[in-house]
Chain A
Amino acid sequence: MPDLQGFGPMLAVGTLMTVQVALLSTLFGILIGIAVAMMKLSSSRTARIAGDVYTTIVRGVPALVLILLIYFGGVRAVNGLARWLGHSEHVDINAFVAGVFALSLAFGAYATEVFRGAFQAIPKGQIEAARALGMGRWLTFRRVSLPQVWRIALPGLGNIFLVILKETALVSVIGLEELMRKTEYAVGFTRQPFTFFLAAAFIYLALTIVSMLAIQVLERRASRGLEPAGAA
Chain B
Amino acid sequence: MNLQVMIDALPALLGGAGLTLRLVGLALVAGFVMALGVALARLARSPFAWMPAYGFVFFFRGTPLLVQIFLVYYGLSQFAAVRASPFWVVLREPFWCALIAFSLNTAAYTAEIVRGAVQAVPRGQVEAAKAIGMSRLTRMRRIVLPQALRIGLPAYGNEVILLIKASSLASTVTLLDLTGVARTISSVNYMPVELLSMAALIYLTMTFIVTRAFKLAEHLLSGDRRQPPSLAARPGPGSGAVSPGEAK
Contacts and interface: CB of A to CB of B under 8 A. Distances in A.
A166 B63 contact: yes
A180 B63 contact: no
Interface residues of B, number: 40
B68 interface: yes
B172 A173 contact: yes
Nearest to A204: B63
Contacts of B182: 65
Contact of B199 (A65, A194, A198, A205): A65
Contact of A73 (B64, B161, B166, B193): B193
Contact of B197 (A69, A167, A197): A69
A57 interface: yes
A173 B66 CA distance: 10
Contact of A60 (B66, B167, B208): B208
Contact of B165 (A63, A69, A72): A63
B48 interface: no
Contacts of A167: 64
A204 B64 contact: yes
Contacts of A180: 64, 66-67
Interface stretch (B72-80, B124-132, B143-151): B72-80
Given A73-B193, A193-B75, A169 B203 contact: no
A150 B171 CA distance: 38
A50 B183 CA distance: 29
A194 B91 CA distance: 14
A69 B186 CA distance: 11
Contacts of A57: 200, 204
Contacts of B67: 169, 180, 197, 200-201, 204
**B contacts with A: majority SS:** helix
B70 interface: yes
A62 B193 contact: no
A66 B201 CA distance: 12
Contacts of A166: 62-65
A194 B75 contact: yes
Contacts of B172: 64, 173
B62 A69 contact: no
**A contacts with B: majority SS:** helix
Interface in A13-70: 56-57, 60-66, 68-69
B89 to A, nearest CB: 19
A151 interface: no
Interface residues of A, number: 36
Contacts of B184: none
B193 A76 contact: yes
B193 A193 contact: no
Interface centre among B79, B165, B167 (most CB of A within 10 A): B165
Given A192-B78, A195-B78, A68 B196 contact: yes
A168 B64 CA distance: 9
Contacts of B165: 60-63
Nearest to A195: B78
Contacts of A195: 78
B193 A197 contact: no
Contacts of B204: 56-57, 60-61
Nearest to B162: A163
A66 B79 CA distance: 35
B174 to A, nearest CB: 13
Interface in B27-86: 58-59, 62-68, 70-71, 74-79
B207 interface: yes
Contacts of A103: none
A127 to B, nearest CB: 31
27 contacts: A56-B204, A57-B204, A62-B167, A62-B168, A62-B179, A64-B169, A65-B203, A72-B193, A72-B196, A166-B62, A167-B64, A169-B67, A170-B66, A180-B66, A193-B78, A194-B71, A194-B75, A194-B79, A197-B67, A197-B71, A197-B75, A198-B75, A204-B62, A204-B64, A205-B63, A208-B63, A209-B62
Interface of B: 58-59, 62-68, 70-71, 74-79, 161, 164-169, 171-172, 179, 182-183, 186, 192-193, 196-197, 199-200, 203-204, 207-208
Interface of A: 56-57, 60-66, 68-69, 72-73, 76, 166-170, 172-173, 180, 187, 191-195, 197-198, 200-201, 204-205, 208-209
Q: Which 8 A-B pairs have the closest CB atoms?
A: A194-B75, A62-B168, A169-B64, A193-B74, A72-B192, A62-B165, A166-B64, A194-B78
